[in-house]
A and B are shown apart, each in its own frame.
Chain A
Amino acid sequence: MIPYKWPVATSVPQNPHVRFEIAKALRTLLEDGDEKLRQRRAEIASIKRGLAELARDLAKLRREASSLILSALCKYGYNSAEPRVPKYSPGGGQWTDNGTQFAASGMDDATSILRSRGGHHFVPRAVYKDLPLKLETKKVFDDARTGPLKGGRHGWDADHDAYNQAAADALKKFLTGNGIEPQDMTPEQALRFVFYIIGSNDPRIHDLNLRLYRREMLRYILHHMRLIDPLEGPLEIEGGSDE
């Protein structure tokens, strides 16, 4: 019998045992590579899922921000549909059919969150400053502000103008829809309108309010957060300490 001759000259021993060992090693190497590839793919898929979830959360936040703000405000005792006896009053927290009772004794409680100094008026002054409102009604609009803003300078965008027009349209509808003459508008009606504006889904109103808060939050994060470099340690942002 003529023994089998390997077709290529090689220094690797050609007996079956060695060839089997080589094949086994090759398979192990390939499996190793496959495993790493699988792991990498799983990581990428996991990152993609994470990003998709983040995008969904952001979209949800954008949709629900108004109602979240409103619901947060409600914790301070406000409910536009069902006036309650204010906190610290006899029967405080209980629902009441008497809206004026809320107005008479509870305004401080309900408006305390809106007594911000400075910043953006939720109801623009241009909209109400010429109306013959009672002083206490006007004060509700005057006080309903975001608080001081430091987020950015003005450019040539039309957002403020659109906001003013939308707020004016809404106030006109509110007054005519409720049969209210401006001179008869009560502080609690003004407050109800303020909350309507804060929770408005009109994109002209909603988008600007959301943008303001987003920008302020970003400014706060950039201003107060200490970035950590893994090698160099904490990075101080210029002007990072304040207040």
Chain B
Amino acid sequence: MSGLLILLFVSLAAIASPKRFYDDDPLPAEPSPREASKAVRRKVSDYYDFFQQTFASPGQRQPKHGSPVPSQAINTLGEPMDGAWYTRRHYYTPMSTEELVRGPGNTNAPSTDGKWKVVKAKSEGVTPGFEFIDSQGRRYVLKFDPLQFPEIATAPDVLVSKFFHALGYHVPENYIVHFNRDQLEVGPDVELVDAKGRARKMTSRDVTELLLQVPRDKDRRYRGGASLFLKGKPLGPFKYFGLRRDDPNDIVRHEHRRDLRGLSVFCAWLAHDDSRAINSLDMLVDVGGVPHIRHYLIDFGSTLGSASYGPNSPRSGFEYVFDWGPAAKQFFSFGLAVPDWAKATYPDWRSAGRFEGDRFDAAGWVAEYPNPAFSNRLPDDAFWAAKQVMAFTDEHIRAMVKTGEYSDQRVEQYIADVLIKRRDRIGRAFFSQILPLDRFEARDGRLVFADLEVPGRRSYRYQWSAFNNETEVNTAIPSATSAAVPAGEGYLSCKIRLDDSKKAVTVYLRRQADRVNIVGIDRSW
């Protein structure tokens, strides 16, 4: 009986085992989304988020022993698919400098043809502001810099949004605006909840008093950051773990999404340590008549060393706000163990936050508090992100930094210089963790690719195999040890390595008629 049972198990399992590759692999985009109109707005408590992620371990974490959990929400090439979370942009189809500078859009700046009607006082976030509607009927959130630190938050809010757009994320259109007091008028029946929780009608005087705390430019105009309202219905932030329970399209736990694991590298580059749930937003958007949820990153005022209300702590990016190990070290060492980050030097410009590249530790960078998706990052996630960071040239970076409209050219140059330095450190840190080969193609009977770390200067070892797509068994082809693609039908695999290192890339090819397509990539380290 038991023998029969095992036989039946094996037989059915063989029948049921999925193929490694389907005919539609690799998918460039997620299938069309399903309707999610029943999703309702949810809020996130930033305090709860902090305590939960600091003192508990929500979500599924990488096991301490055994095989790690690989990234999901990717196609068989290891690339996130275009969809609700992510869109392949600059690395995949190089954007021109103009496109990079344009970012998510640059044609919807608030019109100064008429007054800006204040319709709501901004109560969330650490900096004061308003929501207003311009003469074209477009709605914006208007935020300001602290009086003593002009440009420290508004400049990053704009320029970093361009970077995140080019890196593939959904972001709002942010603009630097300059205006006089008479540009603003208070709409009827606007309610203001003051700092003590008292609600009352907002008056023109409230606007005047708030503007007393706003720095002015050289022409005595107020400078602010205007963020165009996103289209659709806001549904609250997304979390960096678990699933959104009311979204039928959200089928991969967030802590396992490559686009969120890899986001940690982008945040490290741009010093976005405020990368937490509350700085994200799910929107119910209607595309092609199907209301579905699109996931946005918002609010970049606390990047590039800014804390929005002033320069960020020098600890930022190096240690969590609270971490048992470093805290114990400081507690018991009587302060004699000075952390390396505390020795960093920063320029004394009020527009620049605490942002530097000399002590930047790309692999060790952390956000304000533990982020489950960031903590789950594996070397192939980091590689996926690092290759995108490295796709920005110095010229790209300098052009994009200009969109922050720093009034002091030295600050603009400094920010760009640091970004270039941090970019290079990211490349060095993450390209060395795996074999950094990418952009595979079968061309003229040969497998060609780019070595992102040492272009064209290394010799590689190849081992071709016939690959059984049903059983996933590789059968080595002894004579096939070069870049030339062996003859034959069906699936092939080619394992590439530099030496005897464990670091390898296995590329899967499908030959159909005269065409050879790359259908899959595995990376091991």
A-B complex is real? no
Residues of A within 8 A of B (CB): none
